[in-house]
Amino acid sequence: MKRLIVACLFLAAAAGPAQSQVVLPPRVNINYNVIVYGITAGEALYTFNFQGADYQATARRQITGMARNFLHDSQDFSYSSRGRIENGQVRPTAYRHEDDHRHRVVLVSFNGDEVITTSTPRMGMGHPPATAAQKIGTIDQVSMFAQMLMGQDAPCNRTFRVFLDGRTRFDLALRPNGTQRVNTRAFRGVAQRCAVQFTPIAGFSDPQQPARLNFLFAAINGLTVPIVVEMPTDSVGVVRLEARAYNTGVAG
């Protein structure tokens, strides 16, 4: 039921133009409001740790407030990923996905051209399931956000090949769409606006249609921070993630 198709929404390798070397801080935290039909329904916290060429990232999304009376814990998830950064591209090695509602743990191993999913308890792999070829060169949803931080040269000129939750496979193609002045709790100023083409590939529980989405990126201290991300969902239309806090220190 009502499961966010993200990313994200938060994110194998992201295809796109070569990026210049980015100096990454040891730690980055981004806290998002999850907005559905214009109403704040939850929150999502992403934390990234960088050490040399290695990275580790975690994320937690949960429904809060009045929305919890309707969705309960069906949108509560925890994610984690680790891997290496090579030539400006994230290369995940392991991803973990926990579903509070189904009490399910999904593990994904990225090993060269082989991407293997294990699930406890077992889960269906969608209709149709993603093939081995479709999973080559993909990244998980948390690694996608880590890759976004390194897009200062051309944040809106790249494509993310995403293997979302151990089964769901889609592309997000970003293209420049001007600039936009924003005033959020995390950033005030001019942001780069991306038109995003969502293309479903495989592994969905229900049929999905291509959709046009919008991302906003803010240049902050040499990083390209995703401050607004829109994603399609199974049942509640487009969900908007809007950054309410960003810092490079200890998560609060």
46 within domain boundaries: yes
7 within domain boundaries: no
150 within domain boundaries: yes
d(CA 164, CA 46): 15
pLDDT of residue 7 exceeding 60: no
20 within domain boundaries: no
129 within domain boundaries: yes
The residues near 209 (Cβ < 8 Å, ≥ 6 apart) are 200
Q: Are strands 211-220 and 27-36 parallel, antiparallel or unpaired?
A: unpaired
List, for residues 176-216, the tens digit of each pLDDT value.
999 999 888 899 999 999 999 999 999 988 888 899 999 99
Which segment of 8-17, 99-108, 182-191, 241-250 scores lowest on mean pLDDT? 8-17
**pLDDT, position 250:** 59
Range of the domain at 235: 27-247
Q: How far is CA 127 from CA 27, 195, 236, in A?
A: 38, 28, 20
When pLDDT is averaged across residues 217-232 and rounded to a whole number, the result is 91
How far is Cα of residue 238 from the mean position of the Cα atoms in its chain? 15
List, for residues 62-84, the tens digit of each pLDDT value.
776 665 555 555 566 789 999 99
6 within domain boundaries: no
Listed residue (44, 163, 170, 151) closest to 92, CA to CA? 163
Residue 146's H or E segment, with its range, is: helix 141-148
List, for residues 146-155, the tens digit of each pLDDT value.
999 998 778 9
Domain count, the chain: 1
Question: The domain that contains 33 carries what CATH number?
Answer: 2.50.20
35 within domain boundaries: yes
Q: State pTM to two decimals.
A: 0.86
196 within domain boundaries: yes
